[in-house]
Amino acid sequence: MRITQGCFSFLPDLTDDQISRQIQYCLSQNWAVNIEFTDDPHPRNTYWEMWNLPMFDLPDAAGVLMELKECRKVYGDRYIRISGFDSSPGWESVKISFIVNRPKNEPGFRLERQESDSRNVRYTTTSYAVAERSEGQRYSS
């Protein structure tokens, strides 16, 4: 099951050219661009790991794309996303975030229903990949 998080996730995967144009837009808005990766695709997992530092003051997207290619070389089997931070209000706020790399095989999520008091039902989503194996090996095969 293809996960749909952030911008453009209902579209087919962006090509590198399209990615670089999105990054260029972020840079033209003076946003800091950063690259993050994770192998825990749960929608509530907001803490992805960062690839290097956020990139400030770059004039051209090619620099970010260079880092993205480096990141893909190392973490090509995980989810990688690019986000643009706007600091103009005085704090950093995410203005855009989109997935630029995903594992080949995404097993998807299981929905668990729990009967609790007074016939209430609680729902839990669990990722098959996360449940199956430990961190770092989830999508490797």
CB of 33 to another protein, least distance (A): 10
CB of 77 to another protein, least distance (A): 23
Count Cα atoms within 13 angstroms, Cβ side, for 26: 32
Smaller CB separation from another protein, 35 or 99: 35
Smaller CB separation from another protein, 59 or 89: 59
Smaller CB separation from another protein, 14 or 27: 27
Q: Which residues contact 76 (CB under 8 A, 6 or more apart)?
A: 101
Q: How far apart are CA 38 and CA 48, in angstroms?
A: 5
Using alpha carbons only, give the angle 21, 26, 31 rounded to the nearest 5 degrees. Answer: 160
CB of 84 to another protein, least distance (A): 16
Note the residues at the interface with another protein (CB under 8 A): 52, 55, 57-64, 66-67
